[in-house]
Amino acid sequence: MSVAPARFAWLSVAAAIVVLGLKLAAWKISGSVGLLSDALESLTNLGGATMALLMLRLAAQPPDDGHAYGHGKAEYFSSGFEGMLIFLAAGLIAWQAVPRLVAPEPIDSAGIGLAIAAVATVINFVVARVLRGAAKRYGSITLDADARHLMTDVWTTVGVIAGVGLVALTGWLRLDALVALAVAVNVLWEGFRLIHEAAMGLMDAAWPEEEQQMLHQVLDSFRAQAAPGEIEFHALRTRVAASRRFVEFHVLVPGAWSVKQGHDMVERLEDALHERLERLTIATHLEPSDDPRSYGDEGLDRSHAG
């Protein structure tokens, strides 16, 4: 992976520091537990952004003797770590909110606190949009997770602002704690999603259905170009490792073909796959279709191409 994604992680770290400072100031001015819960959630943004920066730098390192497939899976550690931080933030939010639910306290200078929180939300929204664009450009799950976390923070702050505003208008103080608890539930869900996706990546999950369909379309096109039964594929397996895709399969061709004929066909096939799918590593094994031993490994097939 290019080192370019790490530049966006630096942006995320800087934004997290600024936003955290603004939200802590909003809480100190107003005394709102809702705004405190929002600040605590932003603290996880800073921890997540810092971890993202470290893991992106590691993922950018080229393959070596000890890591022949590269270091891309380091990105999953960042996503999982950020999910765990979100769980921690949810616990802290609940710890602060429950006592206020039992014994509510008045909110001071709500207008100033909300204005500061609104500025922090605008910063988060802009940075989240930038990170989402970079995540798509570089295929980075780390930047995507960071962007999603920031958007969760944006909607959290919007909810908190609405809750604190309603407290100021209605005088119902417990609403502040109820909003904080709603924030805790919301961030818990996002934390679960991040941890789940990181776990699936570390377990070598197969390609998404849409990408699998692209793969089969290319294989079917090569079948259609040959005589019926002349070219077949089996033992097809796919996996995703952060921004990279890996696929391996066996190519069955007539035993009368020369090595060059088979090799040329596989080269054309790999070129066609690279045109459809980016950041792709392909491993193929050429076999004669008229040799019974070529079918002894069909049990490896987990996503049949035939």
Q: Is the pLDDT of residue 304 over 50?
A: no
Indicate whether 214 and 233 sit together in one domain: yes
Confidence at residue 251, expressed as pLDDT on a 0 to 100 scale: 93
Indicate whether 82 and 161 sit together in one domain: yes
Task: Quote the CA–CA distance of 102 and 105 in Å, as a whole number.
Answer: 10
Indicate whether 53 and 150 sit together in one domain: yes
Indicate whether 261 and 174 sit together in one domain: no
Domain boundary among 137, 167, 202: 202
Indicate whether 93 and 36 sit together in one domain: yes
Q: Which of 84, 19, 64 is nearest to 46 (CA)?
A: 19
Higher-confidence position of 268 and 95:
268
Task: Quote the CA–CA distance of 213 and 206 in Å, as a whole number.
Answer: 12
Q: Which range, of 1-10, 135-144, 188-197, 210-219, averages the lowest pLDDT?
A: 1-10
Can you tell me the mean pLDDT for 134-146? 82
Indicate whether 55 and 111 sit together in one domain: yes
pTM beyond 0.75: no
Confidence of residue 36 (pLDDT cuts 50, 70, 90): confident
Percent of the chain with pLDDT over 90: 20
CB atoms within 10 A of CB 203: 9
3 state SS of 153: helix
Indicate whether 165 and 223 sit together in one domain: no
Confidence at residue 112, expressed as pLDDT on a 0 to 100 scale: 79
Indicate whether 33 and 132 sit together in one domain: yes
Can you tell me the mean pLDDT for 40-53? 79
Higher-confidence position of 244 and 96:
244
Residue 81: domain span: 4-202
Residue recorded with tokens 């664009």: 133
Indicate whether 143 and 270 sit together in one domain: no
Indicate whether 243 and 290 sit together in one domain: yes
> Domain for residue 305, yes or no?
no
> Domain for residue 94, yes or no?
yes
User: pLDDT averaged over the chain?
Assistant: 81
Task: Quote the CA–CA distance of 46 and 19 in Å, as a whole number.
Answer: 9
